[in-house]
Structure 1
Amino acid sequence: MKVEQIYTGCLAEAAYYIESQGEVAIVDPLREVGPYIEKAEEHGAKIKYVLETHFHADFVSGHLDLAKKTGAKIVFGPTAQPNFDAHIATDEEILPLGNIKIKVIHTPGHTMESTTYLLIDEEGKEKAIFTGDTLFIGDVGRPDLAVKTNLTREDLAAHLYDSLRNKIIPLSDDIIVYPGHGAGSACGKSMSTETTDTLGNQKRFNYALREGMTKEEFIKEVTTGLVDPPQYFPKNAVMNKMGYESFDEVLSRGAVGLDPSNFESVVDKNNALILDTRNKEEFIKGFVPGSIWIGIEDKFAPWVGALITDLKQPIVFIADKGIEEEVITRLARVGYDNILGYMDGGFEAWKNSGKDIDTLNEIGPHDFTNLYDTEKLNVLDVRKKSEFESQHIEGAINFPLDFINKNMDKIDRKTPYFLHCQGGYRSVIAASILKSRGFNEITNVRGGINEIMKSCIKLTKYHEPETML
C-alpha cells in the first residue's frame, strides 16, 4: 500500500495518491491531471477511482479530465448531484482498491455532500481518513461555502458538529488525518502549518473537537469571525458541480506567443486584461500601460480569484521566459479559462518595439519615514483587517486588498496616497490596480511595514483603527 500527499503551496491544497496492488485512487485532484497519470504509469498501476470529498469552492478539480483520460470512476458522497456521470456512494459503502478498502463516511456540514474517506489496510485495520474540508489540522471547514442551499451557515455548522461527534471522534486515536488544505487557505479560519496529524492529537488540540463542547458553543465558535469568502469561490463550486472545459483546450488556446503588435491588437479587440506576472521589482521599473501585476512567485491563483471578478474575462499575460505554461495552469486552477496568449519575448519585446511604457512610483522605507515625520501623508494599509488591528502606522487607513474593488470609490483619484502591506507583495498588486483605474498619485512603500518598522518603530501604534471594511 502506498499513500502520498501531493501538496500545492500556492493554493494550500492537498491531493492524495493511494495505491494498492496496481490500483490507484486519487483524492481531490487539481485541474492539471498529467502528474497523477504519470505517477500511476511509473508504478505500472491504473487509476480506478477519483474520490471527491465535496464540490470544491477554492479550486477547479481535475475529476472530469482524469476520468475521461483513464476510465476512472468519479465518486462523490451521498446527496451530491453533479451534472455528469459519477458514482454517488452511500454512507458506509466500501470501495475495494487492490487488497485494501476505502470506506465512505458521509460528513455533511462544510457542504451537505461533504464526505470523508476511511482507509482500511490489508489486515483490516483502519489507518487514515481523507477529510477534505470537514476536518483540518487545528480547524474545521467553514460552513458558508456550499453551492446554493436553503440552509444557513448556522444550520450547516450544526450538521458539521454532528458529523464530527458521531462519525469522526469515535474513530481510533492512531488514525492519520489527511486534510484537504493547510494554513493559508480561506476554507478555514486558523489552520495549522502542519499538513497531517493523528486524530488523537486533533482530539486534544483542535478547538472544534473539544470534549464537552455543546452544539451551541460549536456553532458560535465556528461562525464567529468569518469574513466574506473570495468572490470566485461560489463560481468554482458551480464549475465543479456542473462541468467545465478540458484543461488541454485551455492550455492550447492560451499558450500562444504574441508579438507586441498582435498583443496590442488582441487587447483592443477583446477588451482583454493585461496581467503581468514578473518579479515585482521588474514590474515597478516598467510595464505595459494599463497592466495589473500579480506576481507568480506568491499566492498568485488565490489573488487572481479574489481580484478579477469575471471568470470569463479575456486575459493576456506577460511572464518570464519558460514559465508561460505554469501561468496558464495556475489561472485554470481557479477557473480563468479565457486566456488568449502571452507576450512572446516578454516585456523586453514590448520595450524594444518602442511602444509606450509606464512605471510605478516607489519610495524606500527610510525616505518614507523622513517624509512621514515632516508631512501629513495619506497612508493606505492594504493588509487584512485583523493584521491592521494588531499593529499599524498611526493615521493610516485600512484599505484591504481583498476588497479593493468594493472600496475603490471611497478614495479620491487626485489625492496622493502611499500604499504598504506587510512585505511588499500585496501593495504592488493594489498600486497596479489603482493605477490601471486612473489613480495616478500612487506611491508604493518598498518592503512594507516589515521594513518601515526597522527604519523607525515609533511609527506603529495600537489604537482604534480607521477601516474601509
Structure 2
Amino acid sequence: MQIDIIETTSLGDRSYLVSDAGVGVVVDPQRDIDRVQALAAERGVAISHVVETHVHNDYVTGGLELARVTGAAYVVPAGDTVSYDRVPASDGDVLVAGQMRLQVLHTPGHTHHHVSYALADAQGAVQAVFTGGSMLYGATGRTDLLGAEHTDTLTHAQFHSVRRLVQELPAGTAVFPSHGFGSFCAATPTSGTSSTVGEQAKVNPALTQDEQAFVDQLIAGLGAYPAYYAHMGPINAAGPDPVDLSTPRAVDAAELATRLEAGEWVVDLRARTAFAAGHLPGALNFELSNNFLTYLGWLYDWDAPLTLIGESEQQVADARRELVRIGVDRLAGAAVGSPEELAAGRELGSYPVTDFAGLAAQLADHDDTVVLDARRDDERAAGGVRGSIHIPIHELSGRIEEVPGGDVWVYCGSGYRASIAASILARAGRRPVLVDGGYGDPDTGSAAVGLHTESVSV
C-alpha cells in the first residue's frame, strides 16, 4: 500500500492517491485533475473511488470530473445536499477498494457533515486516517465558514470529533489532513508535515485542553479569510464544470489599452520589483508565486472581466491553472510581452522600491511620512511601525480615501501584499513607495532597524 501526497502549495492544501494491488483511491482532489491522472498512470493503478471529506469552501473540487472520466465511485458525505449523483458516505460505512477498506467516521466541526476515512489493509489493520479539515497537525479546521450562527456549535463538535479519532484509532495511525499547510481553512497555525494519532494526542489543542478552553481559544483565533470562499461551497454543491486549461485568447496592445482605460481588471504577473520599475498604468500587480491565488481570489471582483499580462506563455498558463482551482474560468484574455512592447507608445508607470532600512532613514528625517500597513488585524495586533496607518489589503480598495495624499510608504509581512497595495494606490493616482521585505524578518525587517513596536491598537 502506498500513499502519495499531491501538494497544492498555493492553497495550502493536500490531495492524496492511495494505491494497492493496481487499485487507487483519491482523497479530496483539486480541480486540475491531470496531476492525479498522471500519478495514477505512473503507479499503474485504476482509480476505483474518489472520496471527499467535505464540501470544500476553499477550492473547487476536481472530484466530480475525476470520477466521471475514470468511472470511479464518487463518495460525498451523506448529509450534504448536492445536485449530482454520488455515493453517500454515512458514519460506519465501509468502502471496499480492492484489498483496501475505508471506514467512514462522521467528524463534524469544519462543516456539519464532515467525515474522515480510516484506511485499513487486507488484514484489517488500520494504516492511516484522512482527516480533511478535522484533525490537522497541531490544530484543527476553522469552524466559521458556514456563518457566525454555526460557529459555536461547530467548534464544540470539532472538539469531540478530534477526540473521537484518538479514542477509536490506534496511536500509530498516520494522519493525512487536507488543510493546514498555509490554508486559511486552519483555525490556528499548524506545525509539521507529518504526524500520527498518538503524536497529536500530545500536542493538538483539542486533546490537551478542556472543551471550553479549546472552544474559546479557537474562536478567538478566527481571523479574516479570503472573500472567494463564499463562492466555493455553492459551486461544489452544484457540481463544477469540467476543467478548462486552454490558452486564453490573445489580447493585443490596442485592446489592452482599451481595457485599462475602462478600469477593468488587468493583472500583471511579473515580479514586484520588475513591476515597480515599469508597468502599464492602471494594471495591478499580483506576482505569480505561492501567494498569487489567495490574494487575487480575495480581492478580485467576482465575474468581472480579467485580463492577464505575462512575460511568457508558460507564465500565463501557470496562472490559468491556479485560477481554475478557485473557479475563475472565463478569462477575458491574456497579453504576453514586456511593458515596453505592450505600451503601444504610452508612457509607463513606475514607483520607488526600498527596504525597512530605507523606511527607517526616511522616518528619521521626515516624521510626517505616511506609512501604510497592509497586514491583517491579527498581525497588526502583535506590532507595527509606530505612527503607521493600518488598512488590511483586502479592505484597501474600499478605504483608499482614508490614505492621505502624497507619497505613501507601504509594507506588509513579506513585501507581497505591499506590492499589491502599491499597485492599487498607483492605479488610484497616489504615489506609493514599496517597502520590499518582511515586517518580522530578524535580519532585514522592522526589528532590525528599530521600527518594531510590541503592540499596536487595532
Q: TM-score, normalised by structure 1?
A: 0.90
Other-structure match for 1:312: 303
**AA at the equivalent of 2:378:** S
Preserved contact between residue 425 and residue 431 of structure 2 (Cα < 8 Å): no
Other-structure match for 1:285: 277
- SS of the residue corresponding to residue 358 of structure 1 reads coil
Quote the sequence identity (%).
Answer: 28
- Name which of 252, 257, 261 aligns with 1:259: 252
Preserved contact between residue 99 and residue 122 of structure 1 (Cα < 8 Å): yes
* CA 1:44–1:365: 2 relative to 1, 3 Å: closer
Residues 224-276 of structure 1: CA deviation (Å, up to 9, x unaligned): 2212322111211211111233212xx33x5222221233356668x631011
Other-structure match for 1:229: 225
Other-structure match for 1:445: 435
C-alpha RMSD of the superposition? 2.2
- SS of the residue corresponding to residue 450 of structure 2 reads helix
Deviation for aligned residue 1:90: 1.9
Q: Does 1:86 align with 2:86?
A: yes
Preserved contact between residue 260 and residue 350 of structure 1 (Cα < 8 Å): yes
* CA 1:76–1:441: 2 relative to 1, 3 Å: same
Other-structure match for 1:383: 375
Q: Distance in 2 between matches of 1:281 and 1:217?
A: 45
Residues 112-139 of structure 1: CA deviation (Å, up to 9, x unaligned): 1211011001221011000000110000
Deviation for aligned residue 1:454: 7.5
Query: Please, which moves more after superposition, 120-129 or 452-461?
Result: 452-461
Residues 360-387 of structure 1: CA deviation (Å, up to 9, x unaligned): 2334544432221121211112223333
Alignment of 1:35-54 (within 5 A): 35-54=35-54
**AA at the equivalent of 2:242:** S
Other-structure match for 1:197: 195
Deviation for aligned residue 1:44: 2.9
- Name which of 367, 371, 382 aligns with 2:362: 371
Other-structure match for 1:334: 326
Preserved contact between residue 259 and residue 349 of structure 1 (Cα < 8 Å): no
Q: Distance in 2 between matches of 1:17 and 1:30?
A: 12
Residues 199-245 of structure 1: CA deviation (Å, up to 9, x unaligned): 100000111112xx443333222212212322111211211111233
Preserved contact between residue 50 and residue 66 of structure 2 (Cα < 8 Å): yes
* CA 1:390–1:342: 2 relative to 1, 3 Å: same
Preserved contact between residue 58 and residue 236 of structure 1 (Cα < 8 Å): yes
Alignment of 1:418-457 (within 5 A): 418-436=409-427, 438-449=428-439, 450=441, 453=445, 457=449
Deviation for aligned residue 1:340: 1.9
Preserved contact between residue 9 and residue 290 of structure 2 (Cα < 8 Å): no
Q: Distance in 2 between matches of 1:279 and 1:173?
A: 46
- Name which of 379, 383, 386 aligns with 1:394: 386
Other-structure match for 1:246: 242
* CA 1:98–1:258: 2 relative to 1, 3 Å: same
* CA 1:296–1:81: 2 relative to 1, 3 Å: same
Alignment of 1:168-207 (within 5 A): 168-207=166-205
Other-structure match for 1:208: 206
Q: Distance in 2 between matches of 1:398 and 1:434?
A: 14
Preserved contact between residue 143 and residue 187 of structure 2 (Cα < 8 Å): no
Deviation for aligned residue 1:34: 0.7
Preserved contact between residue 24 and residue 97 of structure 1 (Cα < 8 Å): yes
Other-structure match for 2:136: 136
Count of matched residue positions in the alignment of Structure 1 and Structure 2: 454
Q: Distance in 2 between matches of 1:452 and 1:121?
A: 51
Preserved contact between residue 53 and residue 116 of structure 1 (Cα < 8 Å): yes
- Name which of 340, 343, 351 aligns with 1:360: 351
- SS of the residue corresponding to residue 362 of structure 2 reads helix
Q: Distance in 2 between matches of 1:453 and 1:116?
A: 41
- SS of the residue corresponding to residue 420 of structure 2 reads helix
Q: Distance in 2 between matches of 1:279 and 1:422?
A: 17
**AA at the equivalent of 1:388:** R
Deviation for aligned residue 1:280: 1.1
* CA 1:119–1:392: 2 relative to 1, 3 Å: same
Preserved contact between residue 134 and residue 141 of structure 1 (Cα < 8 Å): yes
Q: Distance in 2 between matches of 1:129 and 1:400?
A: 37
**AA at the equivalent of 1:315:** L
**AA at the equivalent of 1:124:** G
**AA at the equivalent of 2:250:** G
Residues 72-102 of structure 1: CA deviation (Å, up to 9, x unaligned): 2211123011111111122111111111111
Preserved contact between residue 4 and residue 16 of structure 2 (Cα < 8 Å): yes
Preserved contact between residue 181 and residue 195 of structure 1 (Cα < 8 Å): no
Residues 54-85 of structure 1: CA deviation (Å, up to 9, x unaligned): 11111111112212221222111230111111
Gaps of 5+ in 2: none
Deviation for aligned residue 1:294: 1.0
Moved over 6 A (4+): none
